[in-house]
Amino acid sequence: MMLENILVKCTFLELLEREFGVRLQETETEKIKLAKESIEVYDCVEDFYAATGWERDNPEESSLPYLLEQKILVHTQEKFLYFSRIRYEDGLKKLGGQNCA
């Protein structure tokens, strides 16, 4: 069980860095938890548009090729992954505030 958790954690960290450019160390458990909470998984791009309003709010930047090229969406294992940078950065600010208190 412990080995499986380590493999899952390492795989997640590799995916996070490779696909979204976010590099975290294994020891940054709060940031890893926050990153997991910032990823949304969609079955299709239409589900992404419906949930986020991206197509409505960013019509000139909403084509699938654009979303994939800019790493806004990642297509893997027949799913689309979206990393909410706003949610992640807001969470980092809150974590920073907790460290100062």
The residues spanned by each domain of the chain are 27-100
Predicted structure pTM score: 0.82
List C-alpha distances in Å: 17 to 29, 89, 100: 15, 16, 27
Dist CA 9 CA 25 (whole Å): 10
Q: Is the pLDDT of residue 1 over 50?
A: no
Condensed to tens digits (0 to 9), the pLDDT of residues 13-44 reads 999 999 999 999 989 999 999 999 999 999 99
Question: What's the chain's average pLDDT?
Answer: 90
Average pLDDT over residues 44-73: 95
Question: Quick one: which of 65, 92, 68 has its CA closest to 80?
Answer: 68
- Provide, rounded to the nearest whole percent, the portion of the chain with pLDDT above 90: 78
